[in-house]
Amino acid sequence: MTLVVFAVGNPSRGDDALGPLLMAGLEARAQTGVVLISDFQLQIEHALDLDGCELALFIDAGTGTPAPFEFRETAPAPGRPVSSHSLPPEAVLNVFADIRGVPPPPAFVLCVRGEDFGLGKDLSAAARQHFDAAAARLAACLTRPDAAYWRRLAEADRRVVTT
- Judged by the rule CB under 8 A, the positions of this chain that interact with other proteins are 8-13, 15-16, 38-45, 47-48, 60-65, 78-88, 91, 94-95, 98-99, 109, 111, 114, 117, 119-120
Closest to other proteins by CB, 29 vs 100, is: 100
Minimum distance, C-beta of residue 69 to other proteins, in the bound complex (Å)? 11
Closest to other proteins by CB, 2 vs 10, is: 10
Q: Which of 52, 124, 40 is nearest to 85 (CA)?
A: 40
- Give SS3 for 39: strand
Q: Which of 11, 6, 21, 101 is nearest to 59 (CA)?
A: 6
Closest to other proteins by CB, 115 vs 146, is: 115
Under 8 Å between Cβ of 112 and 69:
yes
Closest to other proteins by CB, 1 vs 51, is: 51
Under 8 Å between Cβ of 88 and 46:
no
Q: Which of 38, 57, 56, 61 is nearest to 111 (CA)?
A: 61
